[in-house]
Copies of this chain bind each other. A is one copy, B any other.
């Protein structure tokens, strides 16, 4: 397959239409991964130790919120961004850690396109606004977030 065909198979800006939904996960969360991430970036007792987690308001060994966000990023990559013309993102509009993510949980969810527009300032690039909802294996919402991502357009000249 030549490079042009490869590019054409990738999800481009035009594929992210309002209402489009992308499936995420499953992503199993291990105690080892929770502790490894927390040791490096967020060494608070409830993220490092089962007993301390149980004694906290989180109720068990629980992932750092930033670890949850990072795992969700990996779910985006495996779900659609890894096979897209992604050009990165300018930030996070909002992120709610609704419930603890505990060792042994399995995460899954969806990314839904809220809006999509071509950038006037950067021809060939479009901005896609997403809402992401991630649940645990009981279907309980653990994280809801919204952000905008940039994607290269497949056809530079088309109107949106």
Contact = CB atoms under 8 A, between A and B. Distances in A.
A73 to B, nearest CB: 5
Interface stretch (A8-16, A61-69, A110-118, A131-139): A61-69
A64 B57 contact: no
A159 interface: no
Contacts of A94: 91-94
B97 A90 contact: yes
A58 interface: yes
Number of copies: 2
A34 to B, nearest CB: 13
Contacts of A67: 70
Contacts of A44: 77, 81-82, 86, 88
B64 A73 contact: yes
A71 interface: yes
Interface stretch (A18-26, A35-43, A101-109): A35-43
A88 B95 CA distance: 14
